[in-house]
Structure 1
Amino acid sequence: MTFSHKKSFAIRHSFVRPSQSLALIPRRTSATPNFSANSRTRETPILSNGIDYVSSSEGRGRVFESAVGLDLLRISGGEVFWWRDGDDEVDFVFKMQRKLFAVEVKSGRRKRTGGIEAFLKIEKSAVPCFITLENYSDFSSDPVKFLLERC
């Protein structure tokens, strides 16, 4: 799907709706769990994998990114996309009130911004916005106000 906005906005890169990427359940990569009555396993595999997943920095980042994505999807009149070009990506591209926001979600110490910089070179009118664990409560309480006033 090619995204275009007005005559001045034309991007040859693809935007994809993130609805399928917002799942919070990790994919199993190991063999099928043993559910037999004679199994020595005392923990529920799904619960155990979920806790392990969220306790990892990668898992926390994906859950946090999903929460931000859900908040963006709840904004009436807004459209949510993501952008990728090779190794560069923007977590969410959000279109609202004739404005385009390039939203990066950061949950850890690594603050890699190469994707947003590449996107801003292509679409100069986009507004960069970083949502972190530190400012998430402000964002989630009023996402529209946050985007319009803090980005």
Structure 2
Amino acid sequence: MGPRQVGKTTLVNQLSEQIDMETYFVSADAVPSSDTSWLAQQWETARQQMQIHQRTEFLLVIDEIQKIHNWSEMVKLLWDTDTRENRKLKVILLGSSRLLIQKGLTESLAGRFEATYMPHWSYQEMSTAFNWTLDQYIWFGGYPGSGDLISDEERWKNYINNSLIETSISKDILMLTRIDKPALMRRLFELGCLYSGQILSFTKILGQLQDAGNTVTLSHYLELMDTAGLLGGIDKYAADVVRKRASSPKFQVHNTALISAQSNDLFENIKNDPKEWGRIVESAVGAHLLNSGLSEGFKVYYWRERNDEVDFVLERRGKVIGLEVKSGADQSNSGLSEFQKKFNPDKVLIIGKSGLSVEDFLGMNPVELF
């Protein structure tokens, strides 16, 4: 599972070319969600091909599985039938909506699956594949499909907005989940990208939205966008879970391309604005942490108390790490000092001029900090 256009299908195709196993690949992208019989038909086709080719093992790959209503119940029935009949049909399910995939896995397929999350591409991956510089990655983000388009930034912006943002919202959220106020959700997405790296209460956000809504609705919409790999809300770090969830969120994009594509600024101009560039740098660090946290199993928070703030707090298996991003002229670290006094974390780290370089941090797996 993972966001759109991160290479899930490409990876499976490469796998099928390297293994000695017949493969049947199908996609539910254009299948009506109500057509539950489609899944059983495709499964039976794989069984027949396995028998015709006289294979003891066979691989069935189903893409966009979340498009099928009650897919997990049907998969459970078909899988259990194969298990009883000792039929070694291997199955890979691909999906771009993390919420719907995980719900189906935990409700119906407990003990029958292994989940793998594929995040947005990292700086190291984009640099290796497209020879991007650090600044290019910070601005253009981690969508591999856009890697060859950045020389024409207007074309690149159109690609991100139309082929990625609009498709993700339309197909992974609006078509699969009941949304009473789609215009409100789209506006929340725009504002969240605009304020990525900043802490805003939902009450204040409502004051900037023309459509009427409430804080519960906004929180729900933000959760849906988070599971689609678009925009998340980082909770405030606290000693107990209730206080964490009750905090105002710190907006954080999963990919800085979502900021840049909607911005009127261009790459060559934004680098000459230290304040705005610093905000993009912090969002790039935050995106790296969010993506790594999903694949490596650690939580990402922020901390603020009065005028003291720590940009990111990581928590994994009882260990706590405080991270402060310093990309501009302000090199003070009073927030880290207060955070150390209050929580006694296992480690604190500055990312930027007076600490670990942004390039080194974006080039590493953050789980190594633990």
**TM-score bracket, shorter-length normalisation:** 0.5 to 0.7
Shift in CA distance, 137/125, structure 1 to aligned 2, threshold 3 Å:
same
Instruction: List gaps (5 residues or longer) in structure 2.
Output: 1-234
1:1-151 maps to which residues of 2 (within 5 A)? 3-4=238-239, 17-18=249-250, 20-22=251-253, 25=259, 46-47=264-265, 52-75=269-292, 76-132=296-352, 135-144=357-366, 146-148=368-370
Q: Which has the higher contact order (CA 8 A, sep 6+)?
A: 1
Q: Deviations over 1:90-142 (max 9, x none)?
A: 00111123211110001123211011111111001341111116622222222
**TM-score, with normalisation over the residues of structure 2?**
0.29
Q: What secondary structure, in the 3-state scheme, does the structure 2 residue paired with 1:66 have?
A: helix
1:144 and 1:91 map into 2 onto residues whose CA distance is 15
Q: 1:90–1:103: 8 Å Cα contact kept in structure 2?
A: yes
1:123 and 1:79 map into 2 onto residues whose CA distance is 16
- Aligned-residue RMSD, C-alpha: 3.3
Instruction: List gaps (5 residues or longer) in structure 1.
Output: 27-44
**1:62 partner letter:** R
Give the aligned length: 124
Shift in CA distance, 137/51, structure 1 to aligned 2, threshold 3 Å:
closer
* Identical-pair percentage: 28
Q: What secondary structure, in the 3-state scheme, does the structure 2 residue paired with 1:121 have?
A: helix
Residue 29 (structure 2) aligns with:
none
**2:363 partner letter:** S
**2:309 partner letter:** E
2:271 and 2:247 map into 1 onto residues whose CA distance is 27
Shift in CA distance, 96/107, structure 1 to aligned 2, threshold 3 Å:
same
Q: Deviations over 1:45-92 (max 9, x none)?
A: 8236x7655421111111110011011111221111111111110001
2:298 and 2:287 map into 1 onto residues whose CA distance is 12
Shift in CA distance, 87/67, structure 1 to aligned 2, threshold 3 Å:
same
Shift in CA distance, 59/65, structure 1 to aligned 2, threshold 3 Å:
same
**Structure with the higher helix share, 1 or 2:** 2
Residue 134 (structure 2) aligns with:
none
Q: What secondary structure, in the 3-state scheme, does the structure 1 residue paired with 2:315 have?
A: strand
1:108 and 1:58 map into 2 onto residues whose CA distance is 7
2:289 and 2:364 map into 1 onto residues whose CA distance is 10
**2:312 partner letter:** F
1:111 and 1:146 map into 2 onto residues whose CA distance is 25
2:298 and 2:311 map into 1 onto residues whose CA distance is 16
1:59 and 1:4 map into 2 onto residues whose CA distance is 33
**1:58 partner letter:** K
1:15 and 1:114 map into 2 onto residues whose CA distance is 22
1:57 and 1:71 map into 2 onto residues whose CA distance is 21
